[in-house]
Structure 1
Amino acid sequence: MSLQYDLIALDVDGTLLTDDHVLTKAIRETVHEAAGRGAQIVLCTGRGPSGALPILEELGLGGTVITHNGAATINSDDRSVIHQFDMIPEHLIDFVVYCRDRAIHFDLNTAFEMMVESMTPEAELMYGRYQAKPSIQDFRLALPSGLVKFTVFGSKEQMDTVQTEWASWPQTLHSIRSGDYFIDVHHAEANKGRALEQLAAIRGIDRSRILAIGNYYNDITMLQFAGMGIAMGNSPEQVKLAAKAVAPSNSEDGVARALREYAWT
């Protein structure tokens, strides 16, 4: 059987992992088989490296990871940054003040570090699920430099309200819903599709030779850029419409089944 694609880009949460954040045996073995056949496996996630690299290790793989929704591309072998989209700290001040005024939890991220001003029991539980370990810092005097992502966390209803209100703000930075309980803010040009395009150019891979699988709104640019974009069965309708095919859900080993159907013949 011949491999149809040279690069396979995989979202993590809601795609590779079940809703309980488990990497199943069927998915691990099928992704490993694709790599063994010569495909470059690239995790393409909203997580930072601290949450993404353990998944890559659990897959038994190394290489490149696109993190923070495309804002930082990392070489897992030496922990170097291949490319990142830095935000201007001053552009984030309105977002920070908004969250402080409404007691909405937020974190600030450089390529490798996650920082919070305070920690609630709910936030601590959430970070544990994503293998993230933020440090507590005081940002009242100044925001750090080298920031690539600002994330807010709360109930679905709370995030619905935030999303609606921020939609009318000037688009100096780009905000995107990365899950029911999360909204991420990045440099206006940072997204998974752009990062995948940059990586493909570096490696001399035509987009027709790229397969991407994802499940949420922050995956749409990646699914559209790839020659074969596949949405998970648990994706919102808008994400499915952006894809060329729809796989079974993340509770049905959808990634494994999609790779066996489309990655090789």
Structure 2
Amino acid sequence: MSQLTFDEAAARSLEAIYLSPDVVAQRARVIDLLAPRAGEQILDIGVGPGLLAHDIARLVGPAGRMVGLDNAPAMVAAAERRLADLPQASVRQGDAGGLDLPDEAFDAAVATQVYEYVPDIKQALVELHRVLRPGGRALILDTDWRSLVWHASDPARMDRVLACWDGHLADPHLPAKLGPLLRQAGFEVRRVEIVPMLSPRWQSVSYAGGMMRTIHDYARTNADRFGLDADEVVAWRRDQDELIARDEFFFSVNRYAFLATR
């Protein structure tokens, strides 16, 4: 596995994706499912640039608490800037696999696009269970990259580029296994929903647009590690640009939201 590096430039790029309309809609659905209430103590694992944390902190209000956690210093800094006007919110550096937090400290926790990066998912879910109070809620959202439908003139080349992209994840197909893993950790799975990222036509300001740029940059940098010819990455991107010019772009991938209780 060759993980993405979240320096300041990567943090800005990720924030731009998170501000695209389809990811804004995803964030609204996550909040609906988590249903934060005034006065609650909520943990955001993998807080990223702090957009979801900001909404949650406003919903729990001054009597509540929102704690954000991220293992990337650039993300911690970005979230701290965004949450600076909310005294009920704090951010710290930490790892999802070993939460440096007290037992039964939170009413709810949320982790979006985090656990697919965690090598020891079983331990991470045990830790999640530990820090939640009895009856506490967990909302987990991750992508299963097998659900990806992405039009290309050369499907075999597309498969090779995406195999390279899969290499940055601990488990690119986690959602298919997440229900049993949650139950093994002591949770009761209450609800599972698909949250699609769909772009039937090209839009530069979209999740698909952001991912095309991110995957291109990652594959170009890591091609040798995964047996991918660098020229193939160039050809793949050129093909996508040509499809966009002909109004033949199509992208769809499913994220899966699991609502569970301790």
Q: Which TM-score bucket, shorter chain as reference?
A: 0.3 to 0.5
Q: Give the TM-score, by structure 1 length.
A: 0.32
Structure 2 length as normaliser, TM-score? 0.33
